A and B are shown apart, each in its own frame.
Chain A
Amino acid sequence: MEFNEFFVLGMKLLGAGMAMLGAIGAGVGVGIAASGGVQAMGRNPDAAPIIQTNMILGMAFAEAVAIYALAVALIIIFAT
């Protein structure tokens, strides 16, 4: 089946946008990590440095999902 060139282009952009839906989960995860970290620091301010380090680490891992979504979106737009 032959598709219109512009139709394919539009679908590509739509697909890239839909690939970025994966960022929802990462956003929720980072939010939960920040909330937990701030609560812990409020209860125990002495342990703030180590909590902060681990919180940033957890946020970085949660963010990785959004990073993969971004990679897929960029591949859809630029590499196909």
Chain B
Amino acid sequence: MSDTKPKKRFHVKTLLILLLVAAGAYAAFWGPSILKPVNPVVVLPGEHTGLSLFGLEITNTMLATLLADVILIVMGFSAWRFAKSGQLVPKGFVNAFEAIVEFLWNSIESSAGAKWGRRIMPVVATIFLLIFVANMVKLVPGFESIGWMEESPHGEGYAAVQLIPGVYTIDKTQPVTLEHAEGEEATHTEGEAPCQACEVVPWFRGSATDLNFTIALAVITVVMTQVYGVWALGPGYFSKFMPFKELVSGNPFGIINFAVGFLEIILEFAKILSFAFRLFGNIFAGALLLSIIGALLPIVIPPVLYIFEVFFGIIQAYVFFLLAVVFISGALVSHSDHGEEHH
């Protein structure tokens, strides 16, 4: 009896997976046309959701970032409540949270030491948690696919099909090309399709697929690097960028070392660029890959890529965090002391 039990459960799982694959194949090839995947539309900047705050247009990537923020605050609040309750053994969600924070603390301590690790932890760990939560939240189904239906700016789109009153979907088999893309106002009437050549403008889009999010994080990281450098070394930190001492030291290579200072300044700006584009490129390329493969071959492969996306979301958050830690702990050490050891 006990031998057959796990076998039975295995078969149930296999059947479930096969059923899901069959459902995917049905939706992609034989089912009603509204279930078929539409061709991907590549949009680089965040799209406006129609909301605005003090004249500032709120884009869908900003909304997604706000959602990630709210989730993060709830996570932090629950961890705080647990710490206040005085229990020592965490359970469930708080346990996972503690594991993450402990992992972060270990990698900070190993490269910056306990004293400075305590000071840089709040900045880098917040950045890690924000990117991590934003990347995970972006993978929830409904992100990037549910939103307002709007007239396509290129005049090419799909016809709108009514599912239930007030809810529409676009149909791949009915592409519409408008002759006069501009000057033709969509007439909004009750019970009629909201547009002719439609395009879905999602309410939420992954935060990291917007360059504004990644550049903001990169600028914060690089500025905080300078702040920690000044905190650790005082004004002498800036001698890394303008080593006047080298000029008057009489060393024949002094002028070269002085020029290297300018390279250091350029390097700081290159850090912003590579920080921002690394995160953006990986997440944007992942989202693009999912939608293109989803349109080309919508069975079996997209779930595998989805798991890959989860993995990349974690790895990219970790890489951003690790580089921030390494750069900040590099700025804590005096540059000139290091040079004197060699000469």
> With the chains together, A68 CA to B185 CA distance in Å?
42
Confirm or deny: A34 has a beta carbon within 8 angstroms of a beta carbon on chain B: no
A67 with B44: CB separation less than 8 A: no
State the majority secondary structure of interface residues on B: helix
B277 with A71: CB separation less than 8 A: yes
A64 with B107: CB separation less than 8 A: no
- B322 / chain A contacts, CB cutoff of 8 Å: 53, 56-57, 60
Confirm or deny: B281 has a beta carbon within 8 angstroms of a beta carbon on chain A: yes
B273 with A63: CB separation less than 8 A: no
Confirm or deny: A7 has a beta carbon within 8 angstroms of a beta carbon on chain B: no
Confirm or deny: B296 has a beta carbon within 8 angstroms of a beta carbon on chain A: no
- A3 / chain B contacts, CB cutoff of 8 Å: none
Known interface pairs A74-B44, A78-B44; A56-B277 also in contact (CB < 8 Å): no
- A63 / chain B contacts, CB cutoff of 8 Å: 278
Confirm or deny: B318 has a beta carbon within 8 angstroms of a beta carbon on chain A: yes
> With the chains together, A66 CA to B273 CA distance in Å?
12
Which of B44, B273, B318 contacts A71, CB < 8 Å? Answer: B273
- B281 / chain A contacts, CB cutoff of 8 Å: 66-67, 70-71
Interface residues of A in 50-64 (CB under 8 A from B): 50, 53, 56-57, 59-60, 63-64
A64 with B110: CB separation less than 8 A: no
> With the chains together, A64 CA to B277 CA distance in Å?
8
Residues of A within 8 A of B (CB-CB), count: 15
Interface residues of B in 304-343 (CB under 8 A from A): 315, 318-319, 322-323, 326
Closest to A73 in B: B281
Q: Looking at A57, A59, A60, A63, which has the most chain B CB atoms within 10 Å of its CB?
A: A60
Confirm or deny: B274 has a beta carbon within 8 angstroms of a beta carbon on chain A: yes
Closest to B326 in A: A57
Q: Closest approach, in angstroms, between the C-beta of A74 and any C-beta of chain B? A: 7
Q: Looking at B107, B274, B318, which has the most chain A CB atoms within 10 Å of its CB?
A: B274
- B107 / chain A contacts, CB cutoff of 8 Å: 53
Q: Closest approach, in angstroms, between the C-beta of A11 and any C-beta of chain B? A: 19
B273 with A68: CB separation less than 8 A: yes
Which of A50, A56, A66, A74 contacts B319, CB < 8 Å? Answer: A56
Known interface pairs A50-B110, A67-B281, A78-B44; A56-B318 also in contact (CB < 8 Å): yes
B278 with A67: CB separation less than 8 A: yes
> With the chains together, A3 CA to B319 CA distance in Å?
44
- A68 / chain B contacts, CB cutoff of 8 Å: 273-274, 277
> With the chains together, A78 CA to B280 CA distance in Å?
15
> With the chains together, A48 CA to B24 CA distance in Å?
41
Top 8 nearest A-B pairs by Cβ distance?
A67-B277, A64-B274, A70-B281, A60-B319, A71-B277, A67-B278, A67-B281, A67-B274
Interface on B for A, CB 8 Å cutoff? 44, 107, 110-111, 273-274, 277-278, 281, 285, 315, 318-319, 322-323, 326
In the complex, besides A53-B110, A67-B274, A67-B278, 8 extra interface pairs with C-beta distance below 8 angstroms are A56-B315, A56-B318, A56-B319, A57-B322, A67-B277, A70-B285, A74-B44, A78-B44
Interface on A for B, CB 8 Å cutoff? 50, 53, 56-57, 59-60, 63-64, 66-68, 70-71, 74, 78
Name 7 interchain pairs, CB-CB below 8 A, sorted by A: A56-B322, A60-B322, A64-B274, A67-B278, A70-B277, A70-B281, A71-B281
